Structure 1
Amino acid sequence: MRGYDKKAVGERIRAQRKALDISQEDFAERIGRVPKFCADIERGQAGMSIETMLSICSLLKLSPNELLFGSSTSTKLHDETQLIIAALNQCTEKQRRDAYALLKLFLTAIR
Structure 2
Amino acid sequence: MSKTYNRLAAGERLRLKRTLLGMTQEEMAERIDRVPKYYADIERGSCGMSVETLMALSHTLNMPMDYIILGREYGENSEKKHEDEIVAVLDILDKCPQKQRASILKIIKIFISSCRK
CA distance in 1 between partners of 2:6 and 2:73 (Å): 16
What is aligned with 2:24? 23
User: Is structure 2 residue 46 aligned with structure 1 residue 76?
Assistant: no
CA distance in 2 between partners of 1:43 and 1:19 (Å): 17
Deviation of residue 70 (structure 1)?
Answer: 1.6
What is aligned with 1:107? none
Q: SS in structure 2 opposite 1:76? A: helix
What is aligned with 1:42? 43
AA at the equivalent of 1:63: P
CA distance in 2 between partners of 1:79 and 1:62 (Å): 18
AA at the equivalent of 1:20: L
What is aligned with 1:103? none
Deviation of residue 62 (structure 1)?
Answer: 0.3
Deviation of residue 79 (structure 1)?
Answer: 2.8
User: Is structure 2 residue 57 aligned with structure 1 residue 56?
Assistant: yes
AA at the equivalent of 1:13: L
Unpaired segments ≥5 residues, structure 2 = 90-108
What is aligned with 1:6? 7
TM-score by length of 1: 0.67
Provide the alpha-carbon RMSD of the alignment: 2.7
Residue identity (%): 39
TM-score by length of 2: 0.64
CA distance in 2 between partners of 1:70 and 1:4 (Å): 9
CA distance in 1 between partners of 2:72 and 2:66 (Å): 8
